[in-house]
């Protein structure tokens, strides 16, 4: 009987200990918010008629799909551009999805952020180690790290 009690107690403590560990695929709201802000800060300046929409510089062709997926309704690029709140919600939704995917793949926060930044710019999570894409990814990571610093 003592063996069973010990076994149960050991299993319970192990379960409690493991549940306290963060899951590699778990993404916190603070991480999503930090990456959304970092993408916005690193985006090229918003210029009229540059073919990109919102402060996050989103390509027009993906906006109807992303808004349908994240808001439950399609928006035109012009609607997306003029509604900063909706744009932020959509970008947050997509960033959360991609960050979860990259966490599962890399099990490393910094690499996951790098991969999402690369994907955001190129559509592919790898290949942004040099040139303009490398510079952009480095800027996103720097802004992300600033956002994630504990407030003193």
What is the DSSP code string of the chain?
A: -HHHHHHHHHHHHHHHHHHHSPPTT---HHHHHHHHHHHHHHSPP--TTSS-BTTTTB-GGGHHHHHHHHHSS---HHHHHH-HHHHHHHHHHHHHHHHHHHHHHH--HHHHHHHHHHHHHHSSSS--SSHHHHHHHHHHHHHHHHHHSPP-
**Among the ranges given (3-7, 35-39, 61-65, 134-138), the one the predictor scored with the smallest mean pLDDT:** 3-7
Asked if pLDDT for residue 51 goes beyond 60, the answer is yes
In 3D, which of 25, 34, 32 has the Cα closest to residue 105? Answer: 25
- The predicted structure's pLDDT at residue 151: 78
- The predicted structure's pLDDT at residue 50: 80
* Rounded Cα gap, residues 76 and 103, in angstroms: 31
For residue 87, name the pLDDT band (cuts at 50, 70, 90). very high
Compute the average pLDDT of residues 59-87.
Answer: 97
């Amino acid at each position: 009987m003592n063996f069973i009690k010990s076994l149960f107690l050991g299993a319970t403590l192990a379960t409690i200990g493991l549940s306290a560990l963060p899951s590699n695929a778990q993404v916190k709201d603070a991480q999503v918010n930090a990456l959304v802000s970092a993408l916005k800060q690193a985006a090229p300046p918003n210029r009229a008629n540059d073919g990109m929409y919102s402060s996050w510089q989103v390509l027009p062709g993906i906006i109807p799909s992303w808004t349908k997926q994240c808001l439950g309704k399609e928006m035109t690029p012009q609607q997306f551009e003029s509604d900063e709140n909706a744009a932020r919600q959509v970008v947050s939704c997509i960033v959360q999805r991609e960050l979860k995917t990259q966490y599962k793949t890399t099990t490393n926060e910094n690499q996951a952020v790098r991969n999402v930044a690369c994907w955001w710019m190129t559509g592919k999570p790898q290949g942004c180690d040099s040139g303009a894409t490398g510079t952009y990814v480095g800027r996103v990571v720097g802004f992300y790290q600033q956002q994630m610093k504990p407030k003193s």
